[in-house]
């Protein structure tokens, strides 16, 4: 049942169509009055093109070359149209029809192959033989046989109404109705196969014409068999001569002198004569030049390689050929894919990859596409990202350029040698310069996407960050300077006191803070001679001390929690991971430090110098307890720069800081005493379960209490404060001397002092009676963790160090918020959805029926189809908005900057195809929340169809967001479809690190 609004839209559309038809009738009548001939089919336009070429003494191919002035082998429809009007002098109507014929996909551009194949299709090509139609027809018949539609059966299926003929439209519709047609044919080949049979050229094929074409077929397999025999003979020749196929093809590529001409017979002969005799050379050339035009283009090189490659041959050379082809076209791989509406984040299944592989890699069949796909699908996920294609192609282009440069320098053949970029003569460069030299092969240009927001020295990828840092080092050496000064953060000529980096408003210092004129920015080496990021014992929770000037306890508490696992700070196994990746450590000797954060599930690299703000020779902001350690100061400064200034860090919640510092999604649980919807004992047990799960998964945890001021419990001072964030370091059960079980929690105040004063506090009766038992427990736990390779907890000690113990009951009486990271193990994958709320979205529904009916159609909607035999399947869904803290002048909790959102997940019944109205969800993100990050709990799913709908609290709200759908089963078991036609990014489990390059690793090891 359609709504009134939907019927109104249909009426408006119909009126527009009627108006358009009336305009067309008027135009037709005007043309007839002006005695302009109006043709009725495409053949007339084709004949006019051939006639125009003959009249001018040209070939039909020359019109394309006239349009392709830069020899890019691709032209826009606009440019070709201009040539057809001005040079061929064709009427605008003919030109438009011709452009429609050439640009089958309606992409706005036409490649040389598309143009030439179309000429051949209509048999008006003049520069080489007419093989395309015949080959297309051969592939079509081969496909029909596979589908059991041999001979007359195929015609009967195409002509169900027994008309005695089939039209072009009937032929195309039937072919595309068959399963897997895209594995064997392109749309252009379907048209071409029809053209081969359309002898009378009237866009119809009679029964007799269809059978007549089919009778010619026996000769085609025979021709194909002869071709295969030739390939086998030549493959054996290569084997006997000891020539490696990929090296032979690479040598051909390196010998091309004019890229736009491809491989001429001269180039081919000069390479092949070293290994083959004249007869073999000529046979090879003829086999590669299957269009018989006297030169071999890049697609023909690929075809030759596919034909002659044997088991074990690599596909790497295919990317080299592709890179060279794109270079000759003066087009980047990114631009080429974008033309096909494929972007870096696009994820491709095998079937989708096969469609683009036919054009991009000239794969002759589905089998070759599958092998190429398998070579790229390193993690066997059944998915290949477009970014992988881009990376492989760009790396191949760089390697090809280096090979070409080396070949020019040495003039020696590399036919039987493997390329090693370290052979290039860069011995006179120091290590940093060599590293920059190598990295520039990966990063030649910069765009706005490489930098975060409007910062000059905050980046969105490690390559850009590293290249710029090395350029800074290069400039320091040229100018004979020792250390770098960050022009974006800290004191500089325009801001001598660095006030702009401390306060939101430069001339309006925070009350109670020092006057900017009394501040000084000093390098670490001026404060401590033998400083380290972390000492040999690693970080620990008691390192962290918050400044009494800055209210960033939420960040400092998060750092206290992170300190319990050094891997979050510096990953010892991967130089690209951790808050302070080892990749950037060598830069510290130049006063350059790089810290990696996460924003909306994307890495952000913040570059800072090693100057820190001091007041009376003491650090103004957070610090480590040890004077030698600087990890707290460094991370806080980088985080302040990311959010424009230190003052912007005032107020927040632990979960956001944990998320930004680790990239792990975090959730908040509200502990509400006034919530009477659940049994108190049930709520208590649920919370106990959370603590137990947190301990088992090594989750990061913190807590806070609502309000402001000191917390009083039954009139007693507790030593704790409302609106203040505390770290949760450990949870355990303790059995006392009377065999009573106590549920205990270890917490920490980020100030480094100020502790809980009641039951189980350091100097309480409970502690004095059980202190030895507590120490014994921690000794055993530390030993157990070390034996199992787990980060152990720290031993508990008495004293006012900010670390204290509470029992579970006291915890419930004090705290209202529990923050906890959602640690998902390696079997989980994630799919990202990047989308936006627009003014057209209506938001959450009202109670009236109309609003609930509009809800699924007037909000972003994502259909999640799950179908996999994997048992006990689970999903976890999280949503993040752009951080309001990035706005310098906004204040926490950023009302007006963040959208109040709720997510609902609905399950469709077996007889339902779509969600038609609001109904009870199977899962939701609880209440409407204006928090930056919201989520839904881990949920067990069935093989079913689900609908996910995020909605704002009211209509006309705009804002970007990213949804992450995590799942613990193989990626081929889930399909997500969007109502907004957005791209989905399947985050790979294995990242292709830049440091897999052996040359780069060698240089890093020397630093």
Give the number of other Cβ atoms within 10 Å of residue 447's Cβ: 7
Report residue 241's pLDDT band, with 50, 70 and 90 as the boundaries.
low
Residue 989 has pLDDT above 60, yes or no: no
pLDDT at 422 over 70: no
Determine the pLDDT at residue 415.
34
Q: What CATH architecture is 668-821?
A: Alpha-Beta Complex (3.90)
Q: How far apart are CA 909 and CA 446, in angstroms?
A: 50
Alpha-carbon distance of 503 to 832, in angstroms, equals 36
pLDDT band at 13 (very low <50, low <70, confident <90, very high): low
Residue pair 900/930 in contact (Cβ under 8 Å)? The answer is yes
CA 652 to chain CA centroid, nearest Å: 29
Which phi and psi (to 5°) does residue 895 adopt? -65, 135
Q: What percent of the chain has pLDDT over 90?
A: 39
- Rounded mean pLDDT of 858-863? 93
User: 29 pLDDT band (50/70/90 cuts)?
Assistant: low
Contact status, residue 94 vs residue 87, Cβ threshold 8 Å: no
Which tokens in the block code for residue 985?
């990014």
pLDDT of residue 896 exceeding 90, the answer is no
- When pLDDT is cut at 50, 70 and 90, the band that residue 606 belongs to is very high
Strand partners for 339: none
State the pLDDT at residue 403: 67
DSSP-based three-state secondary structure for 747:
strand
The pLDDT tens digits for 482-496 are 999 999 999 998 899
Which residues are known catalytic residues? 553, 724, 749
Are 158 and 166 in contact, with CB atoms under 8 Å apart? yes
Tokens at 962, concatenated: 């990213």
Q: Which two tokens stand for residue 221?
A: 């397999």
At residue 588, the pLDDT reads: 96
Q: So what's the pLDDT on residue 294?
A: 65
- The closest alpha carbon to 318, from 334, 336, 302, 329, belongs to 302
Q: Residue 997 in 3-state DSSP?
A: coil
Distance CA 591, CA 523 (A): 8
Average pLDDT over every residue of 548-571: 94
- Concatenate the DSSP letters of all residues of 346-371 into one string: -EE-HHHHHHHHHHHT---SHHHHHH
Cis peptide, bond prior to residue 893, ω within 30 of zero: yes
Who wins on pLDDT, 483 or 94? 483
Query: Cα separation of 762 and 766, whole Å?
Result: 9
Per-range mean pLDDT, top range of 409-418, 633-642, 888-897, 982-991: 633-642
Q: Any alpha helices (H) in 614-712, and if so which ranges?
A: 631-642, 654-662, 680-696
The mean pLDDT of 417-424, rounded to a whole number, is 34
**Is 258's pLDDT higher than 90?**
no
Please determine, for residue 981, whether its predicted confidence score (pLDDT) is greater than 50. Answer: yes
> Mind listing the pLDDT tens digit for each residue in 273-291?
777 777 777 777 777 766 5
Average pLDDT over residues 974-998: 61
By mean pLDDT, which of 363-367, 665-669, 982-986 is the weakest? 982-986
CATH topology match: 132-217 vs 668-821: no
Average pLDDT, the chain: 82
Q: In angstroms, rounded to a whole number, what is the distance separating the alpha carbons of residues 953 and 347?
A: 32
Token pair belonging to 159: 């002509």
| φ, ψ at 109 (rounded to 5°) | -145, 160
Report angle CA 382, 387, 393 to the nearest 5 degrees.
105
pTM of the model: 0.61
| Tokens describing residue 447 | 């765009």
Domain 132-217 -> CATH class: mainly alpha
Helix, coil or strand: residue 457: coil
Paired residues of 962 in beta bridges: 834, 880
Q: What is the pLDDT of residues 208-236, one digit of tens each?
A: 888 777 765 544 444 444 455 555 556 65
pLDDT score, position 654: 94
Dump pLDDT digits (tens) for 465-481: 998 999 999 889 988 99
Q: What pLDDT, on the 0 to 100 scale, is given for residue 218?
A: 45
Domain boundaries, the chain: 1-31, 132-217, 222-410, 487-663, 668-821, 829-987
**Max avg pLDDT among 224-238, 344-358, 847-861, 974-988:** 847-861
pLDDT for residue 982 is more than 70: no
CATH topology for 829-987?
Answer: Jelly Rolls (2.60.120)
Q: Tokens at residue 409, please?
A: 């320098």
How far apart are the C-alpha atoms of 122 and 133, rounded to whole Å? Answer: 9
The torsion angles phi and psi of 876, rounded to 5 degrees, stand at -140, 130
pLDDT computed for residue 1004 by the predictor? 75
- Higher local confidence (pLDDT), 956 or 593: 593
Beta bridge partners of 722: 709
- Report the percent of the chain where pLDDT is more than 70: 83
* Rounded average pLDDT over 599-620: 96
Q: pLDDT tens-digit profile of 739-781?
A: 999 999 999 999 999 999 999 999 999 999 999 999 999 999 9
Q: pLDDT tens, 631-642?
A: 999 999 999 999
């Amino acid at each position: 049942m359609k709504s009134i609004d939907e019927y109104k839209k249909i009426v408006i559309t119909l009126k527009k169509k009627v108006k358009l038809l009336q305009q067309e009738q008027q135009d037709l009548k005007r043309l007839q009055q002006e005695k302009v001939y109006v043709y009725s089919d495409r053949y007339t336009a084709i004949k006019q093109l051939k006639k125009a070429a003959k009249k001018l003494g040209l070939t039909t191919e020359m019109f394309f070359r006239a349009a392709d002035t830069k020899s890019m082998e691709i032209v826009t429809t606009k440019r070709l149209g201009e040539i057809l009007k001005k040079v061929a002098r064709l009427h605008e109507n003919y030109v438009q029809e011709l452009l429609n014929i050439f640009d089958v996909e309606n992409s706005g551009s036409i490649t040389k192959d598309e143009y030439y194949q179309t000429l051949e299709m209509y048999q008006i090509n003049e520069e080489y033989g007419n093989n395309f139609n015949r080959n297309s027809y051969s592939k079509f018949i081969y496909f029909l046989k596979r589908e059991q539609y041999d001979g007359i059966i195929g015609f009967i299926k195409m002509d169900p109404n027994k008309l005695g003929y089939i039209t072009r439209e009937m032929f195309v519709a039937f072919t595309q109705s068959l399963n897997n047609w895209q594995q064997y044919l392109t749309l252009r080949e379907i048209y071409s196969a029809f053209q081969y049979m359309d002898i009378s050229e009237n866009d119809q094929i009679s029964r007799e014409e269809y059978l007549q074409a089919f009778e010619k077929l026996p000769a085609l397999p025979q021709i194909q068999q002869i071709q295969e025999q030739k390939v086998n003979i030549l493959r054996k020749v290569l084997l006997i001569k000891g020539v490696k196929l990929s090296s032979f093809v690479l040598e051909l590529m390196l010998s091309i002198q004019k890229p736009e001409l491809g491989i001429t017979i001269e180039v081919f002969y000069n390479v092949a004569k070293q290994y083959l005799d004249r007869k073999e050379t000529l046979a090879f050339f003829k086999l590669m030049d299957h269009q018989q035009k006297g030169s071999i283009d890049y697609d023909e090189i690929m075809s030759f390689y596919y034909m002659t490659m044997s088991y074990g041959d690599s596909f790497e050379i295919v990317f080299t050929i592709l890179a060279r082809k794109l270079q000759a076209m003066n087009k980047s791989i990114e631009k080429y894919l974008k033309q096909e509406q494929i972007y870096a984040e696009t994820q491709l299944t095998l079937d989708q990859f096969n469609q683009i592989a036919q054009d991009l890699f000239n794969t002759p069949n589905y089998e070759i596409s599958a092998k190429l796909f398998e070579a790229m699908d390193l993690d066997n996920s059944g998915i290949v990202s477009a970014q992988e294609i881009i990376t492989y192609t760009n790396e191949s282009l760089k390697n090809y350029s280096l090979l070409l440069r080396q070949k020019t320098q040495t003039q020696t053949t590399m036919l039987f040698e493997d390329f090693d970029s370290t052979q290039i003569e860069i011995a006179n460069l120091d290590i940093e310069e060599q590293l920059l030299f190598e990295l520039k092969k990966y990063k030649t240009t910069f765009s706005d996407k490489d930098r975060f927001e409007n910062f000059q020295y905050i980046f969105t990828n490690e390559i850009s960050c590293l290249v710029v840092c090395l350029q800074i080092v290069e400039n320091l050496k040229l100018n004979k300077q020792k250390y770098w000064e960050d022009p974006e953060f800290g004191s500089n000529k325009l801001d001598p006191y660095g006030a702009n980096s401390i306060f939101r408003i430069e001339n309006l210092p925070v009350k109670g803070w020092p006057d900017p004129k009394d501040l000084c920015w000093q390098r670490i080496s001026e404060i401590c001679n033998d400083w380290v990021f972390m000492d040999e014992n690693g970080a620990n929770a008691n390192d962290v001390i918050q400044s009494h000037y800055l209210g960033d306890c939420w960040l400092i508490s998060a750092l206290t929690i992170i300190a319990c696992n050094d891997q979050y700070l510096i990953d010892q196994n991967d130089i690209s991971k951790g808050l302070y990746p080892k990749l950037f450590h060598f830069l510290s000797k130049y006063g350059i430090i790089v810290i990696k954060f996460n924003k909306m599930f994307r890495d952000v690299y913040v570059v800072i110098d090693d100057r820190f703000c001091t007041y009376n020779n003491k650090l103004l902001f957070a610090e480590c307890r040890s004077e030698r350690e600087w990890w707290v100061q460094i991370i806080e400064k980088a985080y302040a720069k990311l959010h424009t200034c230190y003052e912007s860090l005032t107020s927040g919640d632990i979960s956001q800081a944990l998320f930004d510092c680790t990239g792990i999604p975090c959730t908040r649980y509200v502990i509400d005493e006034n919530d009477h919807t659940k049994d108190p004992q049930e709520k208590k047990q649920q919370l106990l379960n959370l603590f137990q799960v947190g301990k088992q998964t090594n989750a990061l945890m913190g807590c806070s209490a609502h309000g402001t001021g000191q917390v009083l419990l039954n009139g007693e001072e507790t030593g704790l404060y409302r609106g203040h964030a505390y770290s949760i370091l450990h949870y355990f059960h303790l059995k006392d001397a009377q065999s009573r079980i106590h549920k205990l929690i270890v917490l920490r105040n980020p100030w480094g002092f100020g502790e809980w004063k009641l039951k189980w506090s350091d100097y309480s009766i409970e502690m004095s009676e059980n202190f030895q038992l507590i120490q014994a427990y921690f000794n055993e736990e530390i030993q157990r963790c070390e034996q199992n390779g787990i980060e152990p907890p720290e031993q508990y000690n008495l004293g006012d160090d900010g670390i204290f113990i509470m029992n579970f009951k006291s915890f419930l009486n004090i705290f209202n918020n529990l923050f906890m990271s959602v640690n998902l193990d390696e079997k989980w994958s994630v799919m990202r959805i990047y989308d936006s709320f627009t003014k057209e979205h209506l938001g959450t529904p009202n109670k009236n029926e109309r609003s609930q009916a509009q809800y699924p159609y007037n909000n972003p909607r994502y259909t999640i189809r799950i179908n996999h035999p994997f048992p006990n399947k689970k999903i976890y869904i999280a949503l993040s908005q752009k951080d309001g803290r990035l706005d310098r002048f906004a204040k926490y909790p950023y009302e007006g900057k963040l959208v109040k959102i709720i997510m609902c997940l609905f399950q469709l019944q077996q007889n339902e195809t779509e969600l038609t109205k609001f109904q009870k969800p199977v899962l939701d993100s609880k209440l409407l929340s204006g928090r930056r990050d919201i989520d839904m709990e881990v949920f067990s799913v069935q093989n079913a169809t689900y609908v996910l709908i995020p909605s704002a609290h009211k209509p006309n709200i705009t804002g970007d967001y990213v949804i992450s759908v995590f799942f613990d089963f193989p990626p081929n078991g889930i399909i997500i479809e969007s109502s907004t036609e957005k791209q989905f990014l399947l985050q790979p489990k294995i990242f292709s690190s830049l440091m897999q390059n052996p040359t780069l690793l060698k240089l890093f090891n020397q630093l």
